[in-house]
Chains A and B, each alone.
Chain A
Amino acid sequence: MAVDTPGQSVAEAAGGDTRGPARRAGRSQSGPRSGPKGSGSGPKGSGSGPKGSGGRAKRSLATHWYAWAMVAPVVVVIGVIIGYPLVRGIYLSLTDATERNVARSIGVNEIPATYEFVGLENYQTALSSSQFFDTLGWTLVWTVACVSVTFVLGLTLANMLNRKMAGRSAYRMLIILPWAVPGFVSVFAWRFLYDERRGLLNQVLAGGGIDAVPWLNDPTMAKLSVIAVNVWLGVPFMMVALLGGLQSIPGELYEAAEMDGANAWQRFRNITMPGLRSVSTTVVLLSTIWTFNMFPVIFLLTRGGPGEATQILVTQAYKFSFEISPRDFAQSSTWGVLILVLLMLFAAVYRRVLRKQGEVW
């Protein structure tokens, strides 16, 4: 189910990654097998025939059995904690499972499962409803806004803190602080700050003679407020990653450019940006996946409200599964699978675009 956001995004990232190599491996394997010459090339060709590959596997097992044995528990654990929920989620999305018809055994009451396989009906319902597309629209706005603002801010801060200046480590420490605090703690702190009647922000504004701002009570303000909090939470990661990237750019390049008369903007445009490419493409991808599924910020600040104004896809999937009654497990799983598909599509397109631009990734 789409509830455990970090776990899921890791799974997706892993899924996206493994697809490539797996396909490549498949291709190289099919090469010798499909060629009739390879298998029937006399007694000497035993290394490449089907018999040979079996022998190789055997030999590999004989040499590396210890490694396989050591890997096995991890594979099993991952299979259980990621594979099973994923398969189960996809299965539930093809049924009409709700709280009322799933199997449960409570003391004297033994209730068997009575839900049925309904095929793609749930997907039809989801994709023909304005609710899904309204939520998707806001999720996209939220993701693009958060990622772009976070990236620009992170890049600016990283550049500033890459210079030699007094108290640099202290500044770096301070900026990393939001990252060090557990997410839900800072989100709760923000919720108190935002409170319209008793929050600190409005009290400060009242001191300046400004009327109370309905931070989380007005739909538009609530949207801006949740984005602001997510940016606040996301900047440290961006900054640290980009700072690392900046430090890997050799200083000679800047010196040479300066000798050639390049101004600061030209140096930034032609040395810093290309030098940061590999780092920034990765962090933008990660950040997009995280933000798309950023459950705690939305859930703890507004619960998707006022009304449904700040509801993103994951919080809505959670709502189906845990907040409404009877709990609609099928619809929730459907939304979860749709989120997975959307993110996988995004990762695939993103990779293709990058590869076209000559990026090895």
Chain B
Amino acid sequence: MRRGIAATALVAALGLTATACGGDSGSGGGDANGELSGTVTWWDTSTVGSEDKVFKKLAEDFTKKHPKVTVKYVNVPFGEAQNKFKNAAQSGSGAPDVIRSEVAWTPEFADLGYLAPLDKTAALKNQDDFLKQAAASTRYDGKTYAVPQVIDSMGVFYNKKIFKEAGVDVPETVDQLKTAASAIKKKTGKTGLYLRGDDAYWFLSFLYGEGGDMVDAEKKTVTVDNPAGVKALQTVKDLVDSKAAITDATNGWDNMQAAFKDGKVAMMINGPWAVTDTYAGAEFADKANLGIAPVPAGSAAQGAPQGGHNLAVYAGSKNLAASYAFTEYMTSAESQAKVATELSLLPTRQSVYIKPDVAKNQVIGFFKPVVEKSVERPWIPEGGSLFAPLVTEYTKVLTGQTSPEQGAKATGEEYRKLLKGWK
């Protein structure tokens, strides 16, 4: 018996070392006459259950042009993708060849050395066609590290039926939003707004509305804790306290979509990425019931953040040639037009907007001017780091664990730790 155990341990130990050595085999590239082959793994982060189907189909159609290439489509939930990619990229195993990188992640990944520079590769074609706003986030330190895939901003999504029942107009300011919410509550018993409390991105339009911002990159100054930042936190706290809005500290995306799709709340602040999923809801079987308006203005200004996604190639990819070609294919005018018509996502190429199918899409028609006016975030490596400290304090303020003044101050202190030497 004892001998058996020891022998088993020995075998297990040997087995361990054996597996540790295995599992590292290269895959393809191009063969002698330049035909692409091998596997391209793509991590997509689009909304599961609606957008992902279209992107999967589109990605796999790449093999029609390059029959020897296999496309492996993997949908990674947006909330996890940044960390998952970092884990995989740093350890060097399990990373995809191509990743759909949110605009703020791109400079960070590039700074960490995880992305392959794309200048003068097959990934970039007709660069002049890209919207300037979209291309800005793909550059870091004088090189291009990604290709813009979609661009977006935010607006107020509202349920026209509920608004009609309550007899209110679409609010243009936060004050009007509060009045509208109380009228909606009185007439229909429904809540006015779902405010995402577990993701600080949804807080930005309120911050911009008071004339604030997270940081001022040109002056190298942290601005989140200035009076405008405090006022913005007071505004969102007041929306929740006055019951004009409901919020959650966890599971915000699912709860927001469910509440709005089932007609339990009349409004939510959201972007084009939520359109297809929202249309799937019972309330929006008639698509005309969904109204979209600019985000409500605060006391000082009106603005929504500019967002979007790029496609970037992992520097450690074993199949760079096919990955470049895949990236080019996914961001080509043809692919973008398909995505725009089927999912109402905004293209990053000017030439796509004038295509007839895209031009008549109402959602794109609404968001185009919103994006043009949207607030550009600083494309610094720390851009993606600014949300973690903010969301902690934002949630604390919303749940009454800290005051808006304290919350803003604590966020500012964290930012100054991140951004060494900033004021």
Q: Which residues of A contact B255 (CB under 8 A)?
A: 195-198
Q: Which residues of A contact B114 (CB under 8 A)?
A: 106, 109
Chain B proximity of A230: nearest CB distance (Å): 17
Chain A proximity of B17: nearest CB distance (Å): 9
Chain A proximity of B289: nearest CB distance (Å): 21
- Let me know if B6 is at the binding interface, CB within 8 A: yes
- Let me know if A38 is at the binding interface, CB within 8 A: no
What 1/0 flags go to A103-117 for Cβ under 8 Å of B? 011111101000000
- Let me know if A74 is at the binding interface, CB within 8 A: yes
**Contact between B399 and A70, CB atoms less than 8 A apart:** no
What 1/0 flags go to B234-256 for Cβ under 8 Å of A? 00000000000011111100010
**Contact between A323 and B13, CB atoms less than 8 A apart:** no
In the complex, the chain A residue whose C-beta lies closest to that of B117 is A108
Chain A proximity of B301: nearest CB distance (Å): 28
- Let me know if B90 is at the binding interface, CB within 8 A: yes
- Let me know if B392 is at the binding interface, CB within 8 A: yes
Q: Which residues of B contact A302 (CB under 8 A)?
A: 249-250
**Contact between A109 and B402, CB atoms less than 8 A apart:** no
Once A70-B7, A106-B316, A107-B314 are accepted as A-B contacts, the answer to whether A307 and B384 lie under 8 Å apart by CB is no
Q: Which residues of A contact B246 (CB under 8 A)?
A: 197
CA gap between A71 and B393 in the complex, in Å: 52
Q: Which of A216-224, A243-251, A282-290 contacts B (4 or more CB under 8 A)?
A: A216-224
Chain A proximity of B213: nearest CB distance (Å): 20
CA gap between A301 and B197 in the complex, in Å: 16
Chain A proximity of B78: nearest CB distance (Å): 15
In the complex, the chain A residue whose C-beta lies closest to that of B7 is A70
From the candidates A102, A106, A107, A216, name the one contacting B249 in the complex (CB within 8 A): A216
Q: Which residues of A contact B392 (CB under 8 A)?
A: 305, 307-308
- Let me know if A360 is at the binding interface, CB within 8 A: no
**Contact between A324 and B385, CB atoms less than 8 A apart:** yes
In the complex, the chain A residue whose C-beta lies closest to that of B248 is A217
- Let me know if A121 is at the binding interface, CB within 8 A: no
Residue count of chain B within 8 Å CB distance of chain A: 53
**Contact between B385 and A106, CB atoms less than 8 A apart:** no
Name A's interface SS: loop
Q: Which residues of B contact A191 (CB under 8 A)?
A: 250-251
Task: For chain B, residues 60 to 114, give those with C-beta under 8 angstroms from any C-beta of chain A.
Answer: 82-83, 86-87, 89-90, 92, 108, 111-114
CA gap between A105 and B389 in the complex, in Å: 29
**Contact between A325 and B399, CB atoms less than 8 A apart:** no
**Contact between B248 and A326, CB atoms less than 8 A apart:** no
Task: For chain A, residues 308 to 331, give those with C-beta under 8 angstroms from any C-beta of chain B.
Answer: 308-309, 322-327
**Contact between B116 and A108, CB atoms less than 8 A apart:** yes
- Let me know if B48 is at the binding interface, CB within 8 A: no
- Let me know if A273 is at the binding interface, CB within 8 A: no
CA gap between A105 and B113 in the complex, in Å: 9
Q: Which residues of B contact A74 (CB under 8 A)?
A: 6, 9, 13
Q: Which residues of B contact A196 (CB under 8 A)?
A: 248, 255
- Let me know if A88 is at the binding interface, CB within 8 A: no
Q: Which residues of A contact B399 (CB under 8 A)?
A: 217-219, 306-307, 309
CA gap between A148 and B316 in the complex, in Å: 51
- Let me know if B259 is at the binding interface, CB within 8 A: yes
CA gap between A322 and B86 in the complex, in Å: 9
**Contact between A99 and B86, CB atoms less than 8 A apart:** yes
From the candidates B10, B396, B418, name the one contacting A306 in the complex (CB within 8 A): B396
What 1/0 flags go to B177-199 for Cβ under 8 Å of A? 00000000000000000000110
**Contact between B16 and A77, CB atoms less than 8 A apart:** yes
**Contact between B6 and A71, CB atoms less than 8 A apart:** yes
Chain A proximity of B396: nearest CB distance (Å): 3
**Contact between A70 and B248, CB atoms less than 8 A apart:** no
**Contact between A308 and B315, CB atoms less than 8 A apart:** no
Task: For chain A, residues 61 to 104, give those with C-beta under 8 angstroms from any C-beta of chain B.
Answer: 67, 70-71, 73-74, 76-77, 99-100, 102, 104
CA gap between A337 and B12 in the complex, in Å: 30
Once A111-B113, A218-B399 are accepted as A-B contacts, the answer to whether A305 and B315 lie under 8 Å apart by CB is no
Chain B proximity of A297: nearest CB distance (Å): 14
**Contact between B10 and A70, CB atoms less than 8 A apart:** yes
- Let me know if B388 is at the binding interface, CB within 8 A: yes
Once A106-B89, A109-B315, A218-B399 are accepted as A-B contacts, the answer to whether A323 and B10 lie under 8 Å apart by CB is no
CA gap between A217 and B112 in the complex, in Å: 35
From the candidates B10, B87, B92, B402, name the one contacting A106 in the complex (CB within 8 A): B92
- Let me know if B317 is at the binding interface, CB within 8 A: yes
Once A71-B6, A197-B258, A307-B399 are accepted as A-B contacts, the answer to whether A77 and B13 lie under 8 Å apart by CB is yes
Most buried by A among B9, B14, B389: B9
Q: Which residues of A contact B248 (CB under 8 A)?
A: 196-197, 217
- Let me know if B401 is at the binding interface, CB within 8 A: yes
**Contact between B258 and A107, CB atoms less than 8 A apart:** no
Q: Which residues of A contact B3 (CB under 8 A)?
A: 70
What 1/0 flags go to B387-423 for Cβ under 8 Å of A? 0110011011011111000000000000000100000
**Contact between A305 and B116, CB atoms less than 8 A apart:** no
**Contact between B384 and A217, CB atoms less than 8 A apart:** no
Most buried by B among A67, A74, A99, A305: A305
Q: Which residues of A contact B418 (CB under 8 A)?
A: 326
Q: Which residues of A contact B87 (CB under 8 A)?
A: 322
From the candidates A198, A303, A307, A325, name the one contacting B402 in the complex (CB within 8 A): A307
Q: Which residues of B contact A73 (CB under 8 A)?
A: 9-10, 12-14
Q: Which residues of B contact A309 (CB under 8 A)?
A: 399, 401
**Contact between B251 and A195, CB atoms less than 8 A apart:** yes
Most buried by B among A70, A73, A216: A73
Chain B proximity of A6: nearest CB distance (Å): 18
**Contact between B108 and A109, CB atoms less than 8 A apart:** no
Q: Which residues of B contact A108 (CB under 8 A)?
A: 116, 315
CA gap between A216 and B251 in the complex, in Å: 10
In the complex, the chain B residue whose C-beta lies closest to that of A319 is B388
Most buried by A among B90, B317, B320: B90
In the complex, the chain B residue whose C-beta lies closest to that of A80 is B16
Once A73-B9, A99-B112, A219-B401 are accepted as A-B contacts, the answer to whether A325 and B395 lie under 8 Å apart by CB is no
Chain A proximity of B321: nearest CB distance (Å): 13
CA gap between A185 and B108 in the complex, in Å: 34
Chain B proximity of A217: nearest CB distance (Å): 5
Q: Which residues of B contact A106 (CB under 8 A)?
A: 89-90, 92, 113-114, 314-316
CA gap between A306 and B111 in the complex, in Å: 31
Q: Which residues of A contact B315 (CB under 8 A)?
A: 106-109
Give me 20 other A-B pairs in contact (C-beta within 8 A), A71-B6, A218-B399 excluded.
A70-B9, A77-B13, A102-B90, A105-B92, A106-B89, A107-B315, A107-B320, A108-B116, A109-B114, A109-B315, A111-B113, A197-B255, A217-B250, A307-B399, A308-B392, A324-B388, A325-B86, A325-B384, A325-B385, A327-B86
A-B contact pairs, 16 of them (CB 8 A): A73-B13, A74-B9, A106-B89, A106-B315, A196-B255, A197-B259, A198-B258, A217-B247, A217-B248, A305-B395, A306-B401, A307-B249, A307-B402, A308-B392, A322-B83, A326-B385
Cβ-closest 4 pairs across A and B: A70-B6, A307-B396, A306-B249, A107-B316
